[in-house]
Amino acid sequence: MKLLRSALLSLLCAAGLAHAAPPARVVGLGGAVTEIIYALDAEKTLVGSDSSSIYPAAALKLPKVGYYRAVSVEGLASLRPDLVLAADQAGPPQAMEQIRKLGSKVVMLPSAPTLAALEQRILGTATALEIPERGRTLVDRLHTELRAIRPVSQPVRVLIVSSHTGKMQGMGTDTAGDAMLTLAGGTNVLAGQTGFKPFSAEAAAALKPDVIVTTTMSVSASGSTDAFLAQPGLNATPAARNRRIVVMDDLLLLGFGPRLPEALRLLQTGLATPQTAAR
């Protein structure tokens, strides 16, 4: 078998079909994808990323090629990547195809907020970077940490909301926020809707959540935690009256990436313990 593999590799090299070396110039498209590259200790290959790549802090210093769903072909091509690792929502499709035609290998990775897709993201990234053993080690470590996490014991009604765009949106099913909440053991008061959808002040008050979960950027857009909770609708909820709010880093809450165990522990702490928001 070893002789067969050796002979096959020799033929591929002779035909120019085998890589002479692992990828040396890599661009990450999608915050979770870029974060995985760092988690695999392969950040030295990164020459750029998109604007959603905000963790770790070093990723903020990388040259940016726009938002991963609206990639700048010119900006990406200027970085001369030999490999582009992209969330499967990256695009537009014609931009991805143009990058391929310019000679870069493009690997699309699943972005669904599920444990199975997370494992595929990690293993797919590691395989493309030609460090598969690091991918398996990271996946094994994640599974070990996740097995130690138990859902919260008391039922908690939770409203997951984002408002960093200026419009308040609630997260229903088929979102990373809902998937996180399910793993943590909470109940999503918007389980009857799918995806991100705006909702009225009246709807927010009628939902009567025990806890509000939101992102750092959403609170920053309001100016303060007090201002965020004072928004019409939210201010009439039990969560706001009792000042029970969990504020999480955007990528930590919504990225469903290699920090998933950390994110779940933080979320569970917020769901289980009455909190007094900073004034």
Please give, one letter per residue, the 3-state secondary structure of 33-54.
Answer: HHHHHHHCCCHHHEEEECCCCC
pLDDT at 3: 43
pLDDT tens digits along 214-226: 999 999 998 999 9
Question: What average pLDDT score do residues 189-218 get?
Answer: 91
pTM over 0.95: no
Q: 241 or 16: whose pLDDT is higher?
A: 241
Average pLDDT of the residues in 244-262? 95
pLDDT band at residue 249 using 50, 70 and 90 as cut-offs = very high
- DSSP letter for each residue of the chain: -HHHHHHHHHHHHHHT-S-SS---SEEEESHHHHHHHHHTT-GGGEEEE-TT---SGGGGGS-B-S-TTS--HHHHHHT--SEEEEETT-S-HHHHHHHHHTT-EEEEE---SSHHHHHHHHHHHHHHTT-HHHHHHHHHHHHHHHHT----SS--EEEEEE-TTSS-EEE-BSSHHHHHHHHHT-EETTTTSBSEEE--HHHHHHH--SEEEEEHHHHHHHSSHHHHHTSTTGGGSHHHHTT-EEEE-HHHHH--STTHHHHHHHHHHHHHS------
pLDDT at 274: 65
Q: What is the pLDDT of residues 45-58, one digit of tens each?
A: 999 999 999 999 99
pLDDT at 12 over 90: no
Q: What is the mean pLDDT of residues 231-239?
A: 91
Per-residue model confidence as pLDDT tens digits over 124-133: 999 999 999 9
Distance of CA 217 to the CA centre of its chain: 15
Mean pLDDT across the chain: 90
More reliable by pLDDT, 116 or 155? 116
**Closest by CA position to 187, among listed 161, 160, 206:** 160
pLDDT bin (cut points 50, 70, 90) of residue 275 is: low
pLDDT of residue 20: 58
pLDDT at residue 139 is higher than 90: yes
Average pLDDT on 109-136 reads 97
Please compute the mean of the pLDDT values over residues 86-102 and round it to a whole number. 96
Q: What is residue 176's predicted lDDT score, i.e. its pLDDT?
A: 95
Domain(s) labelled CATH 3.40.50.1980 in the chain stretch across: 18-146, 157-272
Mean pLDDT of 242-249: 95
pLDDT of 168: 84
84 forms beta bridges with 27, 106
The listed CATH number (3.30.56.10, 3.40.50.1980, 3.30.420.40, 3.40.1400.10) that belongs to domain 18-146: 3.40.50.1980
Instruction: Choose which CATH entry (3.40.50.150, 3.40.50.1980, 3.40.50.720, 3.30.1490.100) describes domain 157-272.
Output: 3.40.50.1980
| Percent of the chain whose predicted confidence (pLDDT) is above 90 | 79
- Quick one: pLDDT at residue 16? 41
Nearest to 45 by CA among 65, 72, 21, 66: 21
